[in-house]
Structure 1
Amino acid sequence: MPLPATSRFTLSLAALFCIFAEPAMAVQVTDNLDLGGAIRGRWDYDPDRNIQNFGLDTFWLSAKYTSDTWIGEAQYRFYGRSYPYRYTKNYGDIQFAKLAWVGYKFNPEQQVQVGLNTVPFGLQPYFGSTFYETLGNVIGLEDLQQVGVKYIQQSGDWNIQAGYYLRPAWQGKGTTNGVTFSSVVSEADSYVADGSDNQERNTVVLRVAKALDLGLWKSEVGVSGLSSSLENRDTNNDGRRNAVAVHYLGKNGPWGVQLQVARQQMSPRNPGTDELVTLGGYDGTYNVASRGNLYVADLSYDVTGKYLFNQVSGVKLYANYSAFDKSAKAFKTSERMILGSSFMVSQLYVATEWMFGKNDPYIGGSSYAQSLGAGGTDHWENQVYVNVAYYF
C-alpha cells in the first residue's frame, strides 16, 4: 500500500537530514579562496492539481575570493529530471551561471565589480524575506544579474551603487530560449502567443540609500533608477526599458518591515503589439506587460533561542505581498502572497511557504505564458512549497 504524500515527505526529509547532518564546511583552498556549493531538495503540494512531489531541486558549485584588495565570486547551477523539470531526462540537462565576477577594493568603503554581477536596484539583496521571491523577480527587477561593471561606495550613512551593463547573462544549457538564472528580456518560444524577440543592451542603473533612525526603528530609505535599450531583432528598431523604485527597510528588535513601490515602463518596437515584452528564465519564456507598477510589502519576526534539543535555531516568520498592476486597462493585475518561515535544523536550512497567487505564472496553474501579460485565470490559487538546503 503506497504511503501518503505527507509520510513520503517526512521520510525523505529525515533521510536528507541524516545524510547531511554533519557540520557544513566549505573547502578553504587558501586563506583567501573558498570553494563550496549547495544541495537543495524541494516539496511541492497542490491537491487541486494533483501535485505531491519531493525531489532534488538544485545543485550548485561556488567559489569566493576575498583579500584586502582583490575580490570575486562565481556560482554555477544544475537542474533537471525532478519536478518541475520532469520533461528532461538527466539531472544537469538545465544549467546556467548565476554569478561570475572579479572586483577590486580601493579601500574598505569603495569597490568595483566586473563581470556577471547583481544589478543594484531596489531592496537588496531581495525584495523581502521569502525564499520563493516576489513578483519583482519574474518581471525582471529582483535578484537580477547582468554582465557589466558596478561601483559601490559607502560614505557614512550613505550607500551609492552605480552600474553599466552591456548585456544580460549568457544563455546556459536547456530546452528553451530562456535559460538564465535571472528573468531577462528574451526571444519568445513558439508556445508564447504574441511573443516578441528583443535584446536588452546598455543598462545604466543608479541606487542611492541612506541609513537613519526613525524612533526605535533602524531604517534605510532609498531610490533606484534603471534605463536600457531594447533592440528588436524583427524590426531592427530600438525601444527602451525604464524603471524607478523607492524603498524602505526597517528593523526594531525582532520585527522587520520592507516596503517598495516601483514603476516599470518598456517601449518596445515589436512588429505586433507593444503592450507585451517576452522575458525568460529557468528554462521558459513568457509575456510581461510592458507598463505597470510593482508594489511590495513584507513583515517579518525573528524568534530567538534554540529548540528541539538545540537542533532548531534561527527561526524567522514572515508575510509578503506583491502586486503587478498593469497600465493596459484590459490587463488583469497579478498578485502574490506568501506566508512562511525559515529556520536551521542542525546544518540544514529549511524554508516552508504557503503561497497564494492570482494571475501568477508560477503559482496554482494559471497561464504560464500570459499571466504577467493580459492575465490568467484571474482567481486566487494556493500551494505549499518547502525547500531543504545543505550548504557546503
Structure 2
Amino acid sequence: MKNRKVYTLLILVTICFAGYAQKEQLPKVKIGGAIRFNYNLSDWKAEQVKRGGDFGYDVFRLNATGTYKQLGFNAEYRFYSNSFGGGMLKQGWIEYYINDFSSIQLGLCQVPFGLQPYNSNNWFFSLPYYIGLEDDHDMGIKWIKHYEHLLVQAAFFKNAEELNFGNTSAISPNRYSYDVAGRNKEVNQGNIKLAYSPDGDFNTSIEFSAMYGGLYNLVSNKMGNHSALALGFRHKMNNWELKLQALTFSKNPKDSAQYKNTIEMGAYGAIYKVAAKGQVVSSSLSYTIPCKSQHIDYLKLYNDFSWFNKSEETFHDSYMNVLGCMIAAGPIYTYIDSAWGKNHAWLGPEWTNAFAEGSKDAGWHMRFNINVGYYF
C-alpha cells in the first residue's frame, strides 16, 4: 500500500513537470553553412591564361541562429585559405526583440548604409564594397523599427572588428568587409538609414543613408573624421528588379600632408590605398527565369555597373561592370560572371594604387569567374 502511494506521487510529479516543460519556452538553435569552390581566368595573368585558368577552394562557412523568448542571435564564421585571410567572423550579434516590429542588435552588425542586403547581384559585389560602403559589418549597437511604409535603422559603432587590442596597434586586414586600416582606425561612428515604400511591401522603395564618425590617427594621435551619404532606389516588377544608387564620401585623417588624399583599407588579408574623397554611382538590372526542370529551380540574369569618381583632379576614376547569371538548383547555387574593371585592384594588374591614383593608361581587364556553392 505504501509503495502504491509512492508510485502515485511519482506519477503526479512527472505529469506536473512534463506540463511545466511544455509551457516553458526552450531555446531554439539552427545550424547551417556552405562550401564553395571557384574557377577563374584573369586576362592580365599571362601564365594563368596559358594553363586555362585555375580551379580551387573558395570558402567553408558555418551559420548559427537561435531564439529564446525575446532574445536571438545570429553568427557566421568563414574559413578562407591563409593567403585570403584565413578564418574570420563575418557577422555575429545578440538581438533583443522589443516587439514584432522592432529590435536591438548588439555585436558585429551590418552597417545600415546603402541598398541592402546588397547593392548588386554578382559574386564580386560592386565598387561601394571595395571602399567599405556595401555589406560592411562593425562592432556596435543597432536599432531597427518597422512601420507600415517605413523602415528605420539607427546605429552606433564603437569601432570596426578589433582583433588586436594593443595601445597603438593597426587593425588586422584578416576580415570580411573593408575597413580603414594602416595609419588610421574607425571609431565612434553613427549611422541612420530610412527606407520608404509606397505600397508597404518594399518591392519598391526609396532609401536614404547617412554616416559620420571619427578616424583616429595612430601616428599623430589625433582624431580626424569620415562621413558618407547615399540615396538609393529599388523596384521589383514581375521577374525584373532595378537598383540605382548614388553616394558620396569623405575621409579626413589628422595626418601629414602626403597622406591627405588617400586612405588605406584592408580585408581578406591585404591592404590597398583608396582615394580619400569621391562619389560612386551604380546601377543593377536583373531578370529571373523560373525553370520547370527537375534539376534547376531558376536562373537569374543580371548586369551590375558602378563608377568611382575620385575628387582629387590628378587621380583617375575606377570602373566596374559584371555581366552574369546565377543558377539555383536546390541547395547548389552557381554564379557565372564576366567581370570587367578599369583601375580596379581585384580586376587588373595594379593592386596598391588602383583605387587611389590609378593610371591614365589603365585599360579594361576581364576576369571570367565561376563560383559553385553547396548550402546546407
Query: When the two structures are superposed, what TM-score results if normalisation uses the length of structure 1?
Result: 0.83
Q: Over aligned residues, Cα RMSD in angstroms?
A: 1.8
User: C-alpha separation between the residues in 1 aligned to 2:317 and 2:134?
Assistant: 18
Tell me which moved more, 292-301 or 375-384. Answer: 375-384
Q: 1:227 to 1:317 in 2, by over 3 A?
A: same
Mapping 1:106-121, distance limit 5 Å: 106-121=98-113
Q: 1:245 to 1:321 in 2, by over 3 A?
A: same
Counterpart in 1 of 2:35? 39
**Aligned with 2:129: secondary structure?**
helix
One-letter amino acid of the counterpart of residue 354, structure 2: S
**Residues 30-56 of structure 1 deviation map (CA, whole Å, 9 limit, x = unaligned):** 872011221110001124413311111
2:261 is the alignment partner of 1:265: no
User: C-alpha separation between the residues in 2 aligned to 1:142 and 1:149?
Assistant: 18
**Residues 157-191 of structure 1 deviation map (CA, whole Å, 9 limit, x = unaligned):** 1000000000101339xxx941111100111xxxx
User: C-alpha separation between the residues in 2 aligned to 1:266 and 1:47?
Assistant: 33
User: C-alpha separation between the residues in 2 aligned to 1:123 and 1:232?
Assistant: 30
Match of 2:147 among 144, 155, 163: 155
Whether the aligned pair in 2 keeps the contact of 1:170 and 1:180 (CA below 8 Å) is no
One-letter amino acid of the counterpart of residue 368, structure 1: W
Tell me which moved more, 176-185 or 96-105. Answer: 176-185
| Structure number with bigger Rg | 2
Whether the aligned pair in 2 keeps the contact of 1:117 and 1:148 (CA below 8 Å) is yes
Q: Which runs of 5+ in 1 are unaligned?
A: 1-29, 188-196
User: C-alpha separation between the residues in 2 aligned to 1:347 and 1:59?
Assistant: 15
2:228 is the alignment partner of 1:233: no
Mapping 1:43-54, distance limit 5 Å: 43-49=39-45, 50-51=47-48, 52-54=53-55
**Aligned with 1:231: secondary structure?**
strand
Q: 1:140 to 1:47 in 2, by over 3 A?
A: closer
Counterpart in 1 of 2:3? none
Percent of matched pairs sharing the same residue: 28
User: C-alpha separation between the residues in 2 aligned to 1:198 and 1:179?
Assistant: 16
One-letter amino acid of the counterpart of residue 120, structure 1: P
Counterpart in 1 of 2:21? none
Counterpart in 2 of 1:57? 58
Structure 1's consecutive aligned runs of 4 or more residues displaced over 6 angstroms after TM superposition are none
Counterpart in 2 of 1:3? none
One-letter amino acid of the counterpart of residue 122, structure 2: T
Match of 1:211 among 174, 194, 197: 197
2:160 is the alignment partner of 1:168: yes
Whether the aligned pair in 2 keeps the contact of 1:261 and 1:293 (CA below 8 Å) is yes
User: C-alpha separation between the residues in 2 aligned to 1:305 and 1:332?
Assistant: 43
**Residues 86-105 of structure 1 deviation map (CA, whole Å, 9 limit, x = unaligned):** xx8xxxx7111111110011
**Aligned with 1:212: secondary structure?**
coil
User: C-alpha separation between the residues in 1 aligned to 2:282 and 2:347?
Assistant: 17
Q: How many residues align?
A: 337
Q: Which runs of 5+ in 2 are unaligned?
A: 1-25, 165-170
Mapping 1:20-99, distance limit 5 Å: 32-49=28-45, 50-51=47-48, 52-67=53-68, 69-80=70-81, 85=83, 94-99=86-91
